[in-house]
Structure 1
Amino acid sequence: MIAEPLRSTDRLFQIIQILRRSSRPVTARMLSEELEVSIRTIYRDVAHLMGQRVPISGEAGVGYVLGTGYDMPPLALVPAELEAIVLGVQWVAAHGEKELSCAALDVLAKVAAVVPASMQPFISVPSTAAKLPLDASQDTADRAKLRAAIRAGTKLRLHYRDQQGKLTERTVWPVVLGYSDITCMLIAWCERRQGFRHFRTDRIHAVEILDEQIGEPRSRLLQRWKAQRTSELAKATSEAG
């Protein structure tokens, strides 16, 4: 028999959350695997939610969809969700620059102010721990300025020092700012190279936000970059095999 670790009320919230985050129908089997319960339990829970007028459409074997416009209490959190928030805040507070670190701590304070007393220990005595922060002492780029340009969809002029130490000037279309345990990367479309490039922020000597919009919607740029990365990884895996 499959164990049922979640209480029924928590499980009902989780079913709604899974349906809410999915853009496609979710089958009972998919729900049962994620929640670690039997398919029969999922059928019973979905029927109960429908009986409570939660706008779920679909049927067994096809998949379920949550109707648009439905919402549930925004902070009906289960322990694992709260632990995920705490871990994310820990990581951002340790690895982000001052603005982002303070914003992460502010988010956690807002969450702590509204969760019930029974959930407070997950915040005050967390079971998670993030790695130590990366060394930002050599990072001369203003990451807040980079993020502002990404949000506004404006071009950037970078004075960038490449791997050989040569200083170059690039006009780029910023796509996303990526963080890892060892560095921070600006992913952008480079006009000079006519392709996507990854610029380490600790090698950006200076940055200027230009009064000029990027050449296409950032969402499309992000899709193109993801497609390119997927293709590159698939090629690398094939060659390694």
Structure 2
Amino acid sequence: MNLALVFQSGDYVLMSVFLVLVLMSIITWTVIVVRALKLRRAKKGNAEVQKLIWNANTLEEAVAQVRDVDSPISDLTLEAVKAHENYCQYKDTKIAAAVPLSEYLVRQIRNSMSQIMRRFDGGLTALASIGATAPFIGLFGTVWGIYHALINISESGQMSIAAVAGPIGEALVATAAGLFVAIPAVLAYNFLVRGNKTLSQDMDAYAHDLHVQLLNSKD
């Protein structure tokens, strides 16, 4: 398989297909590396923060220890404590605090969790789109290459097996390139979605404990 021959014999459409697939591959691997590292740091930071919080003597001490730690659970804790303080301070004046403390905290914690988990959705749409469209883009390049190969063969008058198999075989490279781009994108999408789901489950379990802790804390 001679890729140089593909670019030498291909026209601007076939070359554009390969350039698009190369761009898709770069985007895919960039998203994979960035998001995988971010997910790993988040899980590592969450484990560290939970250890600090549950080993603290008071809620104030726990908040002080995790304030400078960059992790989703740290952000969730700070937002929940802030919501608790606002409720206690403005419960007689703010309309938002007209509901019981438990329901108010549940609402604020859920909103904070949604905002935090939204940070980990970046790139997933790109991976899903690339995984779904890359094989078809490669197939389009193959069809286009085969069409022009047959045109050139008919014009040259050479109808032997060797004359047909060579150009068509080179045109099939586009389909292989499309699959080469799509398969990592699909696998990475499934991996990151699963990672986000486990992260969300861990945060949800922690949120229940934090909710109980805040309800039983002193003003």
Same fold (TM over 0.5): no
Name whichever structure is richer in strand by fraction. Answer: 1
Name whichever structure is richer in helix by fraction. Answer: 2
Q: Which of structures 1 and 2 has the larger relative contact order (alpha carbons within 8 angstroms, sep 6+)?
A: 2
Select the structure of larger CA radius of gyration: 2
- TM-score, scaled to structure 2: 0.19
- TM-score, scaled to structure 1: 0.18
